[in-house]
Amino acid sequence: MLLNLLLLVIGLGILIVGAEILVKGASSIAKNLGVSPLVIGLTVVAFGTSAPEMVVNIMAALNGTADIALGNIIGSNIANILLVLGLSAMIYPIKVHNSTVHKEIPFSLLAIIVLFIFGNDILFEGVDINIVSRGEGFVLISFFAIFLYYTFGISKEKSKEGQEDLATYKKSTSILLIIGGLLLLIGGGELLVREAVIIATQMGVSETLIGLTIVAIGTSFPELATAVVAALHHNDDIAVGGIVGSNIFNIFWILGLTSIISPLPFNARIDIDLWVAVLATVILFLTFFVGKKHELERRQGFLLFLLYLAYLYYLVQRG
């Protein structure tokens, strides 16, 4: 147990270092390529920080542990909003672009709603089992392609926006920083999740609870580390873009790919967690219209963090 705890702490340290390197590289490449930091956040950073979720889900699909696969994604999306953005805003208020509020966040809400529909066959189709099928997996991948097309479009519209204060390295150095940061995030995330699951299993925690808490929070640590570092450097677009993009990646890309590999039986109990994910996304959307417009303030971040603690308490009580 002590060795597992030590390895868990080492994994966390690797994540923090990787996040620092990734944010520097992503900020620099945005300026070098004339691309908005928001676009970099929605794509490169989002894809990189979602890599641990993808690794966990592919392994879960191959091993037939659907509860961990679904719990990981839904739990990660909830943690990304309530925990990651909550803590980031508590460190430094986060300002976002108009398109983030009116387009990217609603797109992430669409992702959750589509998953809710796909995972409730008993309710919508009157069959005997809830399952995210291979066909539905291809539909999720199609939504992901639409998102990439949209992101490519805004990269042209915002090629110079928000780049004035970004640090610049040589293009080759920036690419190496991004690759190095992503590798450290993936490695640190995998180590942290593995040791956390071992510790939780030894304590007799259920598979669903492990997926929604230990694995979900663990695979969200890259997003947390990246968002916190970005907030400290006042790179708001990378912080928010990474989170919103990660939530879209998690459902449309990772769950789509996972269900294509192996259709995912949908535990009815997880519907409540889906509703929590919907509510968290709606609350995030509304916070940008309360107080300072298009800004997530410290007090709002604190509220998100408290809501996450309440959700964790509910999960533990549910067992």
Query: Which CATH homologous superfamily contains domain 2-318?
Result: NCX, central ion-binding region (1.20.1420.30)
Average pLDDT across the chain, whole number: 80
Is the pLDDT at 264 greater than 60, yes or no?
yes
Provide, rounded to the nearest whole percent, the portion of the chain with pLDDT above 70.
Answer: 89
Is the pLDDT at 124 greater than 70, yes or no?
yes
Is the pLDDT at 161 greater than 50, yes or no?
no
pLDDT band at 166; cut points 50, 70, 90: very low
Q: Check residue 230 and give its pLDDT.
A: 78
Q: Check residue 115 and give its pLDDT.
A: 92
Taking residues 73-86, what's their average pLDDT? 90
Nearest alpha carbon to residue 132 among 252, 264, 39: 264
Per-residue pLDDT tens for 225-234?
778 877 777 7
Q: Check residue 14 and give its pLDDT.
A: 83
Per-residue pLDDT tens for 221-255?
777 777 887 777 777 777 788 888 889 989 999 99
Q: Check residue 319 and give its pLDDT.
A: 66
More confident residue, 26 or 319: 26
Taking residues 29-34, what's their average pLDDT? 71
Domain ranges across the chain: 2-318
Per-residue pLDDT tens for 170-205?
777 888 888 888 788 778 767 766 777 777 777 776
Q: Check residue 207 and give its pLDDT.
A: 61
Is the pLDDT at 165 greater than 80, yes or no?
no
Entry pTM: 0.79
Q: Mean pLDDT lowest for which of 152-166, 170-184, 268-282?
A: 152-166
